Structure 1
Amino acid sequence: MANKDGHRRFGSVRKRESGRYQARYPGPDGRMRSAPQTFARKPEAERYLSLIEVQMARGEWIDPERGKVRLRDYAERWIDERPNLRPRTVHLYRWTLGKHVAPYLGDMPLNRIDTPMVREWRSRLLAEGVSVTMAAKAYRLLRAVLMTAVKEDELIRVNPCRVVGADQEKPAERPVLSVPQIFALAERMPDRFRALILVTTFGCLRWGEAVALQRCDIDLTAGTVRVRQAFVEHRGTGLILGPPKSRAGVRTIALPKAALPVLKQHMGNHVGAASEAFVFTSESGRNLWRGNFNKLVKWPEAVAAIGAAGLHFHDLRHTGNTLASRAPGASLRDIMARMGHDSPRAALIYQHANREADQGIADAIDKAVKAARRKPSPRKPKRAAEGGEPTTEAS
């Protein structure tokens, strides 16, 4: 604002040789600072100074020098300093930062990144063929990094990640196998991996949870599987054995009775006698890697043969979750406890998961299995003669 003599009470504006206007003002420490950009018109520079004056009066002003750190440097430190991140999460954050964020915004100072710039960055990702899902993951990472810069480190005043809908994913609906398809897929696996298909599906397990099971986690008498750890694959380090994905991931799951004979046979034929022996391993006894499994069992051919081409291993868990959700009498809390889902109500779910209700889910799945297996399979068409066209019998 200006005083009676026409001079500003706070800060000053001067015209540069370029014809643009520069705004300067004293910080709380008395040191003069310049606006991070020049202005095309003098009133614009004066409005900027008025805004800075109000911010200082309210205690909201942030020294622009603090926000000059490059996004790349700040984001790398942000990942390093996040507590309790799983190794795989750290790897995914670093990969996303290096692949989709840093090449575009990495050299920008934090206080120069604004919402139009973020919107343009996201549009460019999509235009270059990055999926909506991956763009949403990159956007959420950037938003989380900049939120820390706002709320914790006070390097910038506002988070520029304000693009409506940019954080939302719209993944394609994943397939759900029928009960006959589940058993058909298990039958197409090498003998040592048949139980893996059934335990993963009917137990609603994640890959890392399934391959980390040990003999002491299997109770064939009770028909339960205990999940207390998981493997994480980390490039350059190998397989890392640690806790499940969340606190809710620690759980004991009742399996349907129809899956137990296969699991019992597997335990006798392919699992060492020691309590710490891993349940699912390769022919050589080594722990399984997700990246090698498809080739090991000829997965694409197997899923195509059961009419589920394109099925991912993780879809087995999705199938199990779907079967569990259909079980009559199972509450949302019971189902989420079985799935090992983390959520704002994770503590409540974990503390009150009901073993009796879980057994009820397993029994309901077992009934569905038995009902499906009782259905007669459709007759195969007969061939009239060798090399001839197929015919069907009269009904």
Structure 2
Amino acid sequence: MTPPSDTPASRRVRANGDGTVYQRKDGRWEAAGYVLAPGNTRKRIRVYGSTRTEALAKLTERIATSNRGVPVPSAQGSVSAYLTYWLEAVAVHQLRENTHTRYTACVHQHLIPGLGKKKLAKLTAKDVRTWLNQLRTTCQCCARAIDAHRDQPRCCAAGTCCSRRLSPLTLAYIHSVLKSALEHAVREEEITRNVARNVRTGTPRPRRFEPLTADEARQLLAAARNDGLFALYELALRTGLRKGELLGLQWGDVDLSAGTASIRRTLQRTQTGGLTTLPTKTRASERRIALPIECINSLKEHREGQEGERDAAAGGWKESDLVFTTQAGGPIDPANLNRGFRSLLGRAGLRRIRFHDLRHSTATLLLEQGVELVVIKELLGHAHIGVTATVYAHVRLRLQRDAIDLLGRTLRNPNRPDDGDDPPLCAPAVR
């Protein structure tokens, strides 16, 4: 009888459940065994190596992972195929249309060109990090052949690279889209882990905004007094409503006798439906706010003016119950509101800001008046108070400065004469 040590490696008997290992005709070693698969089933897999030890190590690792309850990945296709499936079958039912459009552009412009050819199951954190580093230093005119479609080339086609690179905020957005897609692949047990979550891109610097001061806000309202949308601008500045929430506000949502307004919808332009009324951004955005007396009066004047426009339009009036409409009664396009707002800034002699900065101005002015952060959070419709605290951190620092100065005056020695030469209680104001 031949001793076990002399038995050829390809014919050795392994214990039940350890799988089989044998040498192929081409010289490579193959190991096969059963592991846990999605749906609580078992699946036979095969791994290969140049030596018996290598093949056996790979199989042992797969079996050990399976014994911990982690199913083997079932994904066989490429990242490109999965991203296409995710956009068309999953994300389209979970996202707003405009958000889905931005996701689609991100996938086709950046994710598929950069990672699309890789196998989904074999994608690693190193692949994602290497691609993001490359994307961070690549000129977009060169990568996307933007210059080739211009009437007068001024970058790659002209022989001089403009070094148009993606901003840190855009890189973070691209990274977040990839994380969302891979997270769904984990939930469907296509892959075992989300490798994009293991990549750190750094926290991008938040977009800087310059809210209006109290004097500038009064200057803006004075310039808008004779504007047909004066009530809209005043409501935006005094309540901090979003642009879509203002344009989607209906008279049925406004109770002028009680001085309240219910925010239930938003008006947006979509590619398929044009100007469309949609639910609010989040559940927290659906709220009821108190109207200042100035807004109540301006809304009453606005309703009288709107009734006059309805009589003048006669049969051409489009009944929509919207508070703010065109002269024909139709909804106002957000792009047209932006143009009108820029014109108003010019008439008021103010610096150019975004319409959304009126919302920031409201929160900033309220914080400077000592209004509690939780009250501002409810007024603005933020989902979490942390969002309010993060966005307006610069104001909180300035309030801390005032608090420190107040404490300094309290702790000052009353017996010490004030010679007027003391240094200021604190450093200059934080911006």
Indicate the RMSD between aligned Cα atoms, in angstroms: 3.4
* Paired residue type of 2:381: G
Q: Aligned residue for 1:178?
A: 213
Per the TM alignment, residue 200 of structure 1 is displaced from its structure 2 partner at its CA by 1.6
Structure 2 counterparts to residues 259-278 of structure 1, below 5 A: 259-270=295-306, 277-278=321-322
Partner of 1:385: none
Establish whether residue 236 from structure 1 lines up as the match of residue 280 from structure 2.
Answer: no
Q: Is the 8 A contact 2:31 2:56 kept in 1?
A: no
Map Cα deviations across residues 60-82 of structure 1 (whole Å, 9 max, x no partner): 2415xx21123233234334324
Query: Is residue 318 of structure 2 the alignment partner of residue 308 of structure 1?
Result: no
In the TM superposition, what whole-angstrom CA distance separates every residue of 1:42-71 from its partner, at most 9, and x where no partner exists? 7554432221121233332415xx211232
> How does 1:48-197 map onto structure 2 within 5 Å?
48-63=58-73, 66-79=74-87, 80-82=89-91, 83-128=93-138, 129-150=165-186, 152-166=187-201, 168-189=203-224, 191-197=227-233
Q: 1:288 and 2:332 equivalent?
A: yes
Query: 2-side partners of 1:169 and 1:22: how far apart?
Result: 48
Runs of 4 or more, structure 1, over 6 Å off, are none
CA offsets 1:230-289 (integer angstroms, 9 cap, x no match): 112211321221211111111122233344443332222136599952121233432122
Aligned to 1:381: none
Structure 1: state its 5+ residue gaps: 347-395
Distance across 2 between alignment mates of 1:344 and 1:298: 29
Aligned to 2:374: 333
Corresponding position of 1:299: 342
Q: Larger C-alpha radius of gyration, 1 or 2?
A: 2
The residue type paired with residue 219 of structure 1 is: D
Task: Look up the SS of the partner of 2:196 in the other structure.
Answer: coil
The structure-2 alpha-carbon separation of the partners of 1:78 and 1:251, relative to structure 1 and needing over 3 Å to count, comes to same
Moved more, 198-207 or 48-57: 48-57
1:301 and 1:192 map into 2 onto residues whose CA distance is 11
- Deviation by residue 1:85-138 (Cα, 9 ceiling, x = unmatched): 322222222222222222212333211211111112222332231221121111
Equivalent position amino acid for 2:67 in 1? A
| Aligned-pair CA distance for 1:30 | 7.0
Identity %: 26
Partner of 2:46: 33
2: CA distance between counterparts of 1:262 and 1:198? 8
> In structure 2, what is the Cα distance between the partners aligned to 1:106 and 1:145?
13
Sort the Cα spacing of 1:191 and 1:23 in 2 relative to 1 into closer, same or farther, 3 A. Answer: farther
Residue 42 to residue 31, structure 1, CA distance change in 2 (3 Å):
closer
Higher mean C-alpha deviation, range 263-272 or range 244-253:
263-272
| Counterpart in the other structure of 1:203 | 239
For residues 53 and 191 of structure 1, what CA distance do their matches in structure 2 show?
Answer: 73
Q: Which of 354, 361, 365 pairs up with 1:319? A: 361
User: Do the aligned partners of residues 24 and 184 (structure 1) sit closer, same or farther apart at CA in structure 2, a change above 3 Å counting?
Assistant: farther
CA distance in 2, matches of 1:68, 1:304: 61
Structure 1 residues 11 and 325: CA distance shift in structure 2, 3 A: farther
Change in 2 beyond 3 A, CA 1:24/1:278? same
What TM-score comes out, normalization by structure 1 length? 0.72
Distance in 2 separating the partners of 1:345 and 1:294: 29
Given that 1:231 and 1:241 are in contact with CA atoms closer than 8 Å, whether structure 2 keeps it comes out as yes
Q: Shift of residue 336 of structure 1? A: 1.6
- Describe the shift of the 1:212–1:14 C-alpha distance in structure 2 as closer, same or farther (beyond 3 A): same
Q: Alpha carbons of 1:269 and 1:14: their partners in 2 closer, same or farther (altered >3 Å)?
A: farther
Given the superposition, is the C-alpha separation of residues 172 and 218 from structure 1 closer, same or farther in structure 2, using an over 3 Å criterion? same
Taking a change above 3 Å as real, the CA distance of residues 47 and 262 of structure 1, as seen in their structure-2 partners, is same
Higher relative contact order (CA 8 A, sep 6+): 1
Amino acid at match of 1:253: I
Letter in 2 for 1:225: A
Does the aligned pair in 2 maintain the 1:206–1:314 contact within 8 Å? yes
Q: Give per-residue Cα distances to partners, 1:333-352, cap 9 Å, x unaligned.
A: 33221111124999xxxxxx
> Could you tell me how far apart the structure 1 residues matched to 2:29 and 2:293 are?
77
